A = this chain, B = another copy of it.
């Protein structure tokens, strides 16, 4: 037993192939069944210009070491962060070199697919400065931020205070004598907390603090404040700043905390585009009407809705491709063969898997088109607001709030369902779905908590309903606003019922839209009755408030989907692509109706027997779409570099890729694990000794 012992021997797999049929063969078979052209559908969904830009940028970054991805599976938090710093720096260099604009950098970030320390500089600091600086401040802050000479963050949330900005504790007291503000954190709970890019990266921060002038509290206002030395990056005196520690995800960003100890900043720090503090006197000048900024919120939310489609598209791509490859059990009623051999059935051939995955695919398209519609409504509204017409704003703002809430929840749940639909291997980080899920989680909480947001939507819907009942909205306006249209229809016939007598009747867009409109309006009417007639408090009906918002937004999504198809020209959307999209729109609508069937039943619109027709129709749609499954996810046009998934590779080399990743695992670089001597050997050698002793 005296082999020479080199412990530094990496594990290598024997040179073996997976059992036939392999993934490449199986995906090829799937793709040969497509009823439509993948590129045509991609172009219709994403636009040719975007797809071309993406291709161009992909070619640049996928071979650049600063954007390398496979190591992140094995890195510690600190290592991942350092690599993300490298990516941020390289992106700045490439932007200067190649003239990339914001849209290009957006594509870089989408492909790189990992938050990085500079993120909040771009998404919050720079935009806030752009909106809130006066001309002088633009030079001092904004332009330097654009050149990365200062790196900033947006410090609003506090340790004890989240969504309610009125509860913030940090104060900024005007000192007339020196024309300064003194920023101070009075309690532990007033520490700024969760602020991305703050922990170790930013040297500036926009700080939301209560403005105090001559002992009067004017509520929270924004200040642009230096927090670290530009010479050596040390925190400045009076500042306590650091990282808030590990999180469930987002660990490549340094979310930070920040406390002020009677910290003085000059007068220019007060961002003075909207309100002002006059130097010397400290006279406070009120902000002008801020309704214009509501438009920006709609834009941000349209972006988030678009992002939720992407998140779900990733999950669906991985799960659908892998489900065509992964085989489990022999379906004895209809056994699959490869050559002469009976093989296990690919899991995508089980109806339950189809039901899960294809409804998810339909969700991806539904969310995508809803986000595009929202974006379009935003553009229209911007033009109208410039003309002084604010009549579209309230409806748009309400819908965007509800859609953000609904679609981010859909995306998160759908992504996790896709991960589970991959069985055991979905649990490996090599599935590419683990980090994706962890990093997406905050989206259901930030930019408006998903529960809180529904209140905004529902408040608007109730108000509109009451106005309609009171006759305060003219019929002329009906033609401009979908909400008033479906509410009016309901009020005209509150006992309407569904006319469907067969499953295929449910395929009519008119029937579907009427059904969704009726159900949403019924929920609103019930809630108004509960509040106005039964005298229930707002707090006591919050569960229904959330339901009503969801019902409205599902209607919006169904409508966006059908309208998108209807309005497409024959050239943009030829017959085969139109047909499959129409099936998907129906699947989205009917699957949603099935999930929410209780509300359709309770409203009296749908009968129990109709609900059974509906259920069968959903399965029928799933069966019709099944042959296109792989091609439909191919049309999401997500490159392997983005997916970084062994299970979701375009070429189907699932097992080969898993093995390749495993060979890189740090534990596999040594034959014997570090803990062996101390924690395993004592017991094992005690046993060997016992054995030898017993032989004596």
Contact = CB atoms under 8 A, between A and B. Distances in A.
A656 interface: yes
Given A14-B261, A673-B200, A159 B679 contact: no
A167 interface: yes
A552 to B, nearest CB: 18
Given A167-B344, A350-B539, A674-B82, A655 B188 contact: yes
Interface in A159-185: 159-164, 166-167, 169, 185
Contact of A424 (B157, B437, B661, B681): B157
A597 to B, nearest CB: 5
Contacts of A230: 684-685, 687-688
Contact of A245 (B351, B355, B445, B662): B662
Interface string A6-30: 0000011110111100000000000
A681 B201 CA distance: 10
Contact of A240 (B13, B257, B330, B543): B13
Given A89-B678, A329-B167, A188 B18 contact: yes
Contacts of A611: 598, 602
Given A188-B655, A683-B148, A78 B666 contact: yes
A148 to B, nearest CB: 4
Contact of A608 (B159, B167, B249, B604): B604
A19 B168 CA distance: 11
23 contacts: A11-B242, A13-B188, A13-B191, A13-B240, A16-B187, A17-B187, A19-B186, A151-B683, A164-B329, A166-B330, A200-B667, A232-B672, A234-B672, A243-B662, A245-B430, A246-B429, A246-B665, A254-B667, A333-B537, A333-B538, A334-B537, A352-B451, A601-B601
B684 A151 contact: yes
Interface residues of A, number: 154
B423 A162 contact: yes
Interface string A665-694: 111100111111011111111111011000
A682 B597 CA distance: 59
Nearest to A676: B233
A217 to B, nearest CB: 14
A616 to B, nearest CB: 10
Contacts of A193: 424
Interface in A614-639: 619
A163 to B, nearest CB: 6
Contacts of A655: 159-160, 188-189
B679 A89 contact: yes
A244 interface: yes
Interface string A127-167: 00000000000000000100111110000010111111011
Interface string A341-383: 0001000011110010000000000000000000000000000
Contacts of A244: 428, 662, 665
A185 B655 CA distance: 15
Contacts of A542: 350-352, 355
A561 B577 CA distance: 53
Contacts of A213: none
A92 interface: yes
Contacts of A16: 185-188
Interface string A328-339: 111101100000
A582 to B, nearest CB: 23
Nearest to A190: B19
A531 B286 CA distance: 72
A241 interface: yes
Contacts of A442: 427
A538 to B, nearest CB: 7
B423 A5 contact: no
A243 B539 contact: no
B333 A680 contact: no
A85 interface: yes
Given A352-B542, A601-B601, A246 B424 contact: no
Contacts of A355: 542-543
A594 to B, nearest CB: 9
A50 interface: no
Q: Which of A424, A656, A678 has the most CB of B within 10 A?
A: A424
A429 B245 contact: yes
A607 to B, nearest CB: 9
Contact of A680 (B5, B73, B151): B151
A81 to B, nearest CB: 7
A537 B691 CA distance: 59
Interface in A68-107: 73-74, 76, 78, 81-82, 85-86, 88-89, 92
A446 B423 CA distance: 9
B1 A188 contact: no
A444 B424 contact: no
A678 B84 CA distance: 12
A89 B685 CA distance: 14
A235 interface: yes
B667 A85 contact: no
A7 B668 CA distance: 35
Contacts of A200: 667, 672-673, 675-676
A149 B248 contact: no
A612 interface: yes
Nearest to A666: B78
A188 B656 contact: yes
A285 to B, nearest CB: 27
A247 interface: yes
Contacts of A242: 11, 662, 665, 667-668
A681 to B, nearest CB: 7
A523 interface: no
